[in-house]
Amino acid sequence: MKKNLGPAYVAPITVWLCVFFVIPISIIVYYSFLTKGFNGGVVHKFSLDAFRALYNPTIFKITFNTFWVACVSTAVMVALAVPAAYYMARSRHKNFFMLLVIIPFWTNFLIRIYAWMAVLGNNGVVNHALLSMGLIDRHIQFLYNTNAVILVAVYTYLPFAILPLYSTIEKFDFSLVEAARDLGATKLAATLRVLVPNIRGGITTAVLFTFIPAFGNYAIPQIIGGSSSYMLGNVIARELTVTRNWPLASSISLVITALTTLGVLIFMRFNRSASEEARERAQDNAPMSAMPQVSAQSTGTGASE
Amino acid sequence: MKGSQVTVKGVEKYFGGFHALKNVSLGINKGEFYSLLGPSGCGKTTLLRIIAGFEDPSAGAVFLDDRDVIPIAANKRPVNTVFQTYALFPHLSVFENVAFPLRLKKLPNAAVKEKVGEFLELVKLPKEGGKLPSQLSGGQKQRVAIARALINEPSVLLLDEPLSALDAKLRQHMLIELDAIHDKIGITFIYVTHDQQEALSVSDRVAVMNEGEVVQVGTPSEIYESPSCPFVAHFIGETNYLGGEVAEVLDGKHARVDFPGIGALYVYQDKPLSVGDGVKVTVRPEKIRISSDKPEGQAGRMNVLEGTVDELIYSGFQSKFFVRVSASATFRIFRQHVKYFMDEKAINWKDKVYIWWNDNDGYVVEAEKNP
């Protein structure tokens, strides 16, 4: 008998997760229940002040804004990524398109955000072009609002939606769409009734991969957004560095973690129930096969030269 | 081709530089079980996909009940397809798969239930409606695909190698059922296959295709007994294929032909032959008789040859003999076993035997005029 080496195999990742995930999260949970230090930092004395401070209209508004930005950018990303991934999967130049999707990762995330300022800023390329063509009299304020944050978030996280969708659509059996068309479905009906339900897994992954980073967004609203597009990530940064209320920063972090986890759970449950429903219903009324078992013997009559 | 339900007229198809269909014209009658038979890559599936509306021809037209269907999209054509890979929707139950076309038409639930029940009954799967396709056997999936394709009541059913994924026994079984369904609903079936046994056993007519061309159209017995070209002779069944020279034209329907290494044989022919023409002759192995004793008292013009059994393959219901008649000529002979222990087993490997067949059983496939 072989020894059970399972624990040994998972030891590296267990250690990794403990050091870089469980322990930091525990520290955050611990800090959120402490008293704020006078000059920043914490006093090791139990307090619920950090959670009481959450009950505040400004925090509610920012939470709602964060949620809104995350939802809209996720929806836009999935809506863009499905056709893009579909086209890539059916193209003869798959690898080329894959390269195009990956190329932006070669440049630093922050530099790409600043690049958007050069494009959309008041003295940016777009305004400059519009002004010199005489289409506008004075520059348009593109940046420092929620739409700009959504735009740049979509730009930044789109590959995370395209890649899982691409790998799902590539495995999709396109004869199913042909079958649907053959049976009378329009192109739209074939897409909605056959393609979408069968690439559900890819859509789920795309939503999770984009919603989670979009919800925890910090750099994009910090650089591109204005005061109206403040997100929870920015509040945490402020409490940590400017206001120096570490317990409050911790409790807001926990709010993000909790809301994200909750959102993911609800989404996955909703998703699973739809596909499992069909399977369970199928198992309930499935009597033994009516088909007699036929052995796979060849009669050898298929004689051909 | 007036009066045909499906008329294919001068259809050409190019895929890039590849010429997949070369001036294909066919007329398929209403209610016919029509097979497109040919090796893989011969263009039969492409032709079917053009009729279904999944491909546009590069040139030519397809008429359905005298209506040009090329401008009509696949979802609007009164044809339905049974796909080679079944193409059942994996996320839908068997019931919903079959109901799919009805749901698109937004039929009321009660009507859907009744009609799906009727068609599941037709394919003998009345109790499997609640299962998912992944829970079905290959044969059951095939039945669901047939029910789903028929529920729209198309005027033509297209079947693209529907049985190729099933094992041999099940294939036989499904073929008989398919034939029964065809008899019951009476619509036109266009059946694509590379399996000549399938095509011969159920078709009213067969179009044999090779390299993008239709090489022969005929009833199964026509294409088997009087192949129009060497390709058909070889592709349909097994045969003895001999090349010789006409020595004497007998009565308009027969000829005596000299075969190098074999001698003179009487053959049936329906072409204008003259002495000296080069001919290719096919003699089906099952038409040749074999015995240890020289046949005597046979009426008519009989071909009798003497040879040695080179190889003997026993396969239960029949034996295949390979009989060498000269250094350069070997005949294959199939003999059905009727009374094995009294008669057939007497012939063994290396035995001296006589083989003989009637003059009508050799057929001239091809003739080349002597210049």
Chain A nearest-CA distance from B355, in A, is 21
B39 touches chain A (CB under 8 A): no
Tell which residue, B191, B96, B74, B78, has the closest CA to residue B148: B96
Chain B positions touching A301 (Cβ under 8 A) are: 168, 197
Q: Are B188 and B155 in contact (CB under 8 A)?
A: yes
- The alpha helices in A218-301, defined as continuous H runs, are 219-223, 232-241, 246-284
- Break chain A down into helix, strand, coil percent, rounded to 5: 70, 5, 25
Residues from chain B that touch A271, judged by Cβ atoms under 8 A, are: none
Burial class of residue B348 (count of CB atoms within 10 Å of its CB; 0-12, 13-18, 19+): exposed
Rounded CA gap, B190 and A133, in Å? 63
Please answer yes or no on whether B81 and A300 come within 8 Å at the CB atom: no
| Residue A147 Ramachandran class (φ > 0 left, ψ -120 to 50 alpha, else beta) | alpha
Residue ending a domain, choose from B188, B208, B235: B235
- Structural tokens at position B16: 């890039």
Q: Are residues B301 and B323 in the same domain?
A: yes
CB-CB contact of B151 with B102 (8 Å): yes
Domain boundaries, chain A: 11-274
**B37 and B93 housed in the same domain:** yes
CATH code for residues A11-274 = 1.10.3720.10
B153: in domain = yes
3-state secondary structure (DSSP) of residue B194? coil
B148 interaction partners in chain A (CB closer than 8 Å): 183
Q: Are residues B255 and B202 in the same domain?
A: no
Q: Which contacts (CB < 8 Å, 24+ apart) does range B135-143 have? A: B135/A282, B135/A286, B136/A289, B136/B94, B137/A289, B137/A291, B138/B165, B138/B166, B138/B167, B138/B170, B139/A291, B139/A294, B139/B166, B139/B170, B139/B173, B139/B174, B140/A289, B140/A291, B141/B86, B141/B88, B142/B82, B142/B86, B142/B166, B142/B174
Q: Which of B235, B260, B276 is the last residue of a domain?
A: B235
Dihedral of alpha carbons B332, B334, B339, B345, sign: positive
- Residues B225 and B293 reside in one and the same domain: no
Q: Is B135 on the interface with A (CB under 8 A)?
A: yes
* CB atoms A294 and B170 under 8 Å: yes
Whether B36 is covered by a domain: the verdict is yes
Q: Residue B54: its pLDDT value, please?
A: 93
Q: What is the pLDDT of residue B168?
A: 84
- Cα distances (Å, whole numbers) of residue A70 to A215, A239, A295, B190: 5, 22, 56, 54
In a domain, B1, yes or no: no
Q: Which residue has the tokens 């003989």?
A: B356
Say what the pLDDT of residue B38 is. 94
Number of structural domains found in chain B: 2
The domain of B33 spans 6-235
Verify that B222 and B255 share a domain, yes or no: no
Contacts of A40 (CB under 8 A, 6+ apart): A244, A246
pTM of the model: 0.80
Strand partners, B282: B241, B363
* Closest alpha carbon within chain B to A274: B91
Structure tokens at B176: 């008989």
Q: Give the distance from residue A210's alpha carbon to the nearest chain B alpha carbon, in angstroms.
A: 25
Domain final position from B188, B205, B235: B235
Structural domain includes residue B49: yes
Q: How many CB atoms lie within 10 A of CB A131?
A: 15
Residue whose token pair is 């490997």:
B349
Structure-token pair, residue A242: 């400017």
- Residue B334: closest CA among chain A residues belongs to which residue? A303
Contact list, B157 vs chain A (CB under 8 Å): none
How close, in Å, is residue B191 to chain A by CA atoms? 16
Does residue B220 sit in the same domain as residue B73?
Answer: yes
Task: List, in order, residues 6 or more apart from A56 with CB less than 8 Å away.
Answer: none
CB-nearest to A179 from B83, B128, B135 is B83
Whether A137 has its CB under 8 Å from any CB of chain B: the answer is no
Together in a domain, B209 and B260:
no
Mean pLDDT by 10 residues, chain B (371 residues): 81 92 94 94 93 94 92 92 92 94 93 93 90 91 94 93 87 90 93 92 94 94 92 91 90 88 89 88 92 76 90 87 91 84 72 90 87 66
B21 plus B166 within the same structural domain: yes
CA B149: distance to chain centroid?
23
* Closest to B57 in 3D by CA, of B22, B27, B82, B29: B22
CATH number at residue B308: 2.40.50.140
Identify which of A189, A198, A301 has the shortest CB distance to residue B104: A189
Question: How many whole angstroms separate alpha carbon B6 and alpha carbon B64?
Answer: 5
Of A183, A189, A286, the CB nearest to B130: A286
Q: What is the ipTM of this complex?
A: 0.82
The answer to whether B89 contacts chain A (CB < 8 Å) is: yes
Spatial distance between the Cα atoms of B5 and B27, rounded to a whole number of angstroms = 7
Chain B residues closer than 8 Å to A284 by CB = 130
Has residue B132 been placed in a domain? yes
User: CB under 8 Å to A233, separation ≥6 — which residues?
Assistant: A66, A216, A217, A218, A221, A222, A256
Same domain, residue pair B230 and B340 = no
Question: Do A290 and B124 lie within an 8 Å CB cutoff?
Answer: yes
Q: Is residue B287 part of a domain?
A: yes
Contact B208, B38 (CB under 8 A): yes
Residues B64, B176 within the same domain: yes
Residue numbers of B between 152 and 191 with CB closer than 8 Å to A: 152, 167-170, 172-173
CB-CB neighbors (< 8 A) of A174 in chain B: none
- What are the pLDDT tens digits along chain A (305 aa)? 566 888 889 999 999 999 999 999 999 999 999 998 887 788 888 989 889 989 989 999 999 999 999 999 999 999 999 999 999 999 999 999 999 999 988 989 899 999 999 999 888 899 889 888 888 888 888 888 889 999 999 999 999 999 999 999 999 999 999 999 999 999 999 999 999 999 988 998 899 899 999 998 899 999 888 888 889 999 999 988 888 899 999 999 999 999 888 888 888 887 776 656 555 555 544 443 333 333 333 333 333 33
CATH number, domain containing residue B37: 3.40.50.300
The encoded tokens of residue A102 equal 């990956």
Same domain, yes or no: B219 and B269: no
Would you state the structure tokens that stand for residue B320, as one six-digit string? 């295949």
| CB atoms inside a 10 Å sphere around CB B51 | 25
Do the beta carbons of residue B156 and residue B5 sit within 8 Å?
Answer: yes
Pair (B328, B363) in one structural domain = yes
